[in-house]
Structure 1
């Protein structure tokens, strides 16, 4: 079922690619602009340091990326769940829904953080002896990063998926508490655990070629990374939409 949810989310994007580009096309432009700006701005510690104009540009583009991401996410939720058609070139702006989405997202992030911090603390304590014993190892950092991923990131993603229906609910103007979201997704606890693994591995696989291309042609790597980031955004929002549609609205999957 976890794989079916992931496949359904992929089909949701590629089966509605024209609408996806109308809704998320502006996100592609912002991501590309952010990447170009980062490439043109001298890194910290350069001879004369990063320019004030470059830092301001990066800050503005980062803020723009967040706003556009919220705009796209809400528009995509509403397109799939309410069949709200997007505009010709830009998604419809729904300030009330976006604000509700922000509030739900902040609360969700805080809850996930409060749950994960104790897990990360205990995991860090358990890893201290292992780190000391691996001090002479050739590649301890990779193993430590992998263990850290298992201890913190995987549970965080799983908890996020279990509580994620509050986001589409906010986008479509429905009232759904975190407690209700957890209860509604309880039948899919195992499926969402599998979905967590599948989505993380898939995200890594599509982004890894960008690292290889960067060493040969940075311009092509920038294009690849931009498209991949856009795809991760659209599929990620589609996954959350699918979880809400299947477990809260009891819709069938077509994958």
Structure 2
């Protein structure tokens, strides 16, 4: 995919995400283009960049530590189950942290003041919920990664594989947006889960 197509897809997704959050939380009409949409999208993008920047240092440190443990175990001729378990543990912890920080994204779509700080404070004491969600997301991602192989072996069609991949990716993205919207509404706004 060329860079312009990637940028167009990212802009469309961001507009969809902002529209979805605002529709669910504020009952705004669901449309991609609306007054102030550009500012809402910039707020969303800025928050996403801050979340990514906060996530980079722990990933670099953990990756280095896991890489060293793999190297030591392989040099000593031991089994790799311990480093493998460390990778899984880190993956779940990292996903839980990203999920908790990402609760701020609907707040950014609403142009809330300091959405990351607001979301972080509101989700304090709910680490277990985020760990469970992260583990479920890991299982779902593993299942989704098997889909292309299943479709190609079942149909033999590259087109069917691509179409099913796009459909599943969009469904997963919409599910993620719904979960984040629900979490902002529940943790920050105190709404009931229905």
Q: Which residue of 160, 184, 190 corresponds with 2:128?
A: 190
How far does residue 148 in structure 1 lie from its aligned partner after superposition?
6.7
Aligned to 1:252, what secondary structure does the other structure show?
Answer: coil
Which of 3, 12, 22 aligns to 1:78? It is: 22
Does residue 1:199 correspond to 2:159, yes or no? no
- Work out whether residues 101 and 167 of structure 1, in 8 Å CA contact, stay in contact via their aligned partners in 2: yes
Corresponding residue number in structure 1 for 2:187: 247
Whole-angstrom distance in 1 between the partners of 2:189 and 2:138: 26
**C-alpha RMSD of the superposition:** 2.4
1:69 aligned to 2:13?
yes
Structure 2, unaligned runs of 5 or more: none
Tell me by how many angstroms 1:204 deviates.
2.5
Q: Which whole-Å CA distance do the structure 2 matches of 1:210 and 1:146 have between them?
A: 25
d(CA) in 1 for partners of 2:115, 2:57: 17
Match of 1:43 in 2: none
- Compared CA separation, residues 250 and 153, structure 1 to 2 (3 A): same
Instruction: Calculate the TM-score normalised by the size of structure 2.
Output: 0.86
| Runs of 4 or more consecutive aligned structure 1 residues displaced over 6 Å after TM superposition | none
Asked which structure has the greater RCO (Cα within 8 Å, sep 6+), the reply is 1
Cα pair distance change 1:98/1:224, threshold 3 Å: same
Does 2:101 correspond to 1:122?
Answer: no
Residue 133 of structure 1 deviates from its aligned partner by 5.2
For structure 1, list consecutive stretches of 5 or more residues without a partner in the other structure: 1-33, 35-57
Q: Does 1:226 align with 2:166?
A: yes
Equivalent-residue separation in structure 2 for 1:81 and 1:134 (angstroms): 55
Q: Is the 8 A contact 1:116 1:155 kept in 2?
A: no
